[in-house]
Structure 1
Amino acid sequence: MSDTIEVSALHKRYGRNVALHELDLRVRRGTVFGLIGPNGAGKTTTLRTLLDVIRPSSGTVRVLGEDPRSGGARLRRRIGYVPGELHLEGRASGHRLLAFYAEVSGSSGDSASVLATARDLADRLGVDLNRPVRTLSKGNKQKVGLIQAFMHRPELLILDEPTSGLDPLVQREFLTMVREARDAGQTVLLSSHVLSEIQQTADEVAVLANGRIVADGDVASLRLGSMRRVRARIGGADAAAARAAFETVPGVEGVDAGPSTGAGTGAGADGVQLSATVEGAIDPFVKALAQYDVHELTVEEPDLEESVLRLYGDAASSAPPAPTRRQRRLGGKEGDRG
């Protein structure tokens, strides 16, 4: 069985600006795939290419086994889409608007069933579909956008910053909807800069920076590369000596040491509160710690956000310089701006 999304060597440029650089992407059927990155990384360009809203400069794209450029309305009926910038206006009520969407999309199955699903989703998200959409707040318009994407239970959901404007309780309900879609066999491509959404729902993740994928894999594998925050209360050393010792340990950064507030009078000699960050393997830090009496030790779970931010920094620092005009004329490498 082929993947739901297959992208190979996707390249997109706008004049001299290159938005996507030879992008390769695979999204397996029945999974939630997270696409994360800062503003300008190329997330929206990638999603719009999958939907044939924009067309690539080069490379190949297949969605649900078809080329989006030739799939037309037949392919789009199999996809639910929430754009990053959702604009809903007009005098029609939410009910009428969703009924219209169901009709023009040619939703497979009974339209009454589709609209019943829409009403159920409206109850879950807390939006009044009797009101004209133009009178709705940004958050409630976003809810209507989510309903129109989910209500016909499409094979593929493409969601670009879907929780924009939603309050935390509604965001939680949305994440439940995503998990339910996956459990029903649907595929979800979720673009977001809200990293907690990715951590809670995604099976696999790709990190975009400057139009390139700088890391991909499951969420757990990305978290392994992050910095760990460690705190320890140790005996058998003074603060200055402990700080000097741990500053020489490979991978240990940001060492701070001082008298432990929990060790009582004279704690400077027998009780030291130590904190640091550990990059990569934690084994060297643990071996260094074994020299002391360890009274307390806390190792915080690596956080995906910290990993991703470091990846952005690495990608930015390693990006080659933009070519000169002469290099472009001579067929040199294209510019590297995302």
Structure 2
Amino acid sequence: MSVLQVTELSKKFGSFPALNGVNLEMKEGEILGFIGPNGAGKSTAIRILLGILKPTGGEARIFGMDVWSDAVSIHKRTAYVPGDVNLWPNLTGGEVIDLFLKLNGRSDRSRRDAFIKRFDLDPSKKCRTYSKGNRQKVALIAAFAMDADLFILDEPTSGLDPLMEQVFQECVLDAKRQGKSVLLSSHILSEVEKLCDRVSIIRQGQVIETGSLLELRHLTRTQMSVTTKVPVTGLQEMAGIHNVEEDGNHTLFQIDSERMDEVIRHISPFGVIKLESAPPTLEDLFMRHYEGGGRP
């Protein structure tokens, strides 16, 4: 079942096309990564999903409902965490969390307290005294304590220390185990890589690639490190080989995955002593999409 369905979504600000035919789909219980550089259209798309902006064209539906006309009903089942949280300065963190939960109508004191403890937040302090990381914690606690069906998280770990990032990741995976759905927009590619079932890459207002990490990795290069009895020759001339670095009998290079078999056969006669390969990371994939105009 599709929790989120976006079809040919477009949004113009004057003559500027912020979104141009965006298509997205997210299944129930799925964590979908939504990545792209600043200005790619991520925040515009998320604001449309939240019913804050009205699209110029196309359609966006959550739980089968239109995100613009049915925004109130959708919000009852949706939790949103932005990357820069602004709170009421004279309220305490606990009061803000309680306010958010009361507005949603899903207040559960024991659940709230459990997440406050998990994120190590002092809820008695005024929000004006909080650091950016603590303001972020307030928003995350309110979201996870709400027990929503869909979490829309836009750079949610901005300002968190590594320990709290780990807590956040555990909370997201717990939500997934409970059958919840998560749309995660993040610049922290290692975070996306750890959490997401699928990834959508947006560039200049268009989704240019969507798939599981396994499906997308064919677009990237594998890092190879080879030590041989005699120096390897002829690699530079082979198709699909990149960034060759030679140091005596040790060779470091990148290889297009589809060329792996012929390269292994090429280096075997040189007497392989040690062969190491590192799988491509999501960062490799992301960067290749932006080299020389976008397509790998």
Q: More displaced, 168-177 or 207-216?
A: 207-216
Matches of 1:35 and 1:199, distance apart in 2: 11
> Any unmatched runs of 5+ in structure 1?
260-271, 319-338
Give the equivalent residue in structure 2 for 1:266.
none
User: Where do 1:204-223 residues align within 5 Å?
Assistant: 204-223=198-217
Question: In structure 1, what is the equivalent of residue 235 of structure 2?
Answer: 246
Q: Which residue of 1 aligns with 2:256?
A: 279
Is residue 201–residue 207 contact of structure 2 (8 Å, CA) maintained in 1?
A: yes
Higher mean C-alpha displacement, 178-187 vs 11-20: 11-20
Residues 289 and 295, structure 2, Cα contact 8 Å, conserved in 1: no
TM-score, structure 2 as length reference: 0.95
- Conserved in 2, the CA contact under 8 Å of 1:35 and 1:208? yes
Q: How far is 1:106 from its partner?
A: 2.4
Distance 1:209 1:74 in 2: 31
Distance 2:158 2:245 in 1: 38
C-alpha contact (below 8 Å) 2:84/2:136 kept by paired residues: no
Tell me the residue number matched to 2:142: 148
The SS at the match of 1:247 is coil
Say yes or no: does 1:168 pair with 2:156.
no
Q: Distance in 1 between matches of 2:45 and 2:292?
A: 22
Aligned to 1:18: 17
Partner of 2:182: 188
Offset of residue 21 of structure 1: 1.1
Report the Cα distance in structure 1 between the residues aligned to 2:290 and 2:213, rounded to whole angstroms: 16
Taking the aligned partners of 2:13 and 2:84, their CA distance within structure 1 comes to 20
1:315 CA drift (Å): 4.4
Deviation at 1:24, TM superposition (A): 0.7
Give the counterpart letter for 1:274 in structure 2.
Answer: T
**% identical equivalent positions:** 32
Which has a greater percent of strand?
A: 2
- In the alignment, residue 288 of structure 2 is paired with which amino acid? R
5+ residue gaps, structure 2, are none
For residues 1-338 of structure 1, the aligned pairs below 5 Å read 1=1, 3-107=2-106, 111=107, 114-237=108-231, 242-243=232-233, 245-259=234-248, 272-281=249-258, 282-313=260-291, 315-316=293-294
Q: Please name the residue that 1:326 is paired with.
A: none
Deviations 1:81-117 (A, max 9, x none): 012331113211111111111222222xxx3xx2321
The two structures, once aligned, show a CA RMSD in angstroms of: 1.5
Partner secondary structure for residue 170 of structure 2: helix
Q: How much does 1:181 deviate?
A: 0.3
Following superposition, the deviation at residue 179 of structure 1 comes to 0.4
CA contact (8 A) 1:234 1:273 kept: yes
1-structure distance, mates of 2:215, 2:10 = 27
- 1:284 positional shift: 2.4
**Which moved further from structure 2: 220-229 or 162-171?**
220-229
The change in CA–CA distance for 1:309 and 1:155 in structure 2 (over 3 A counts) is same
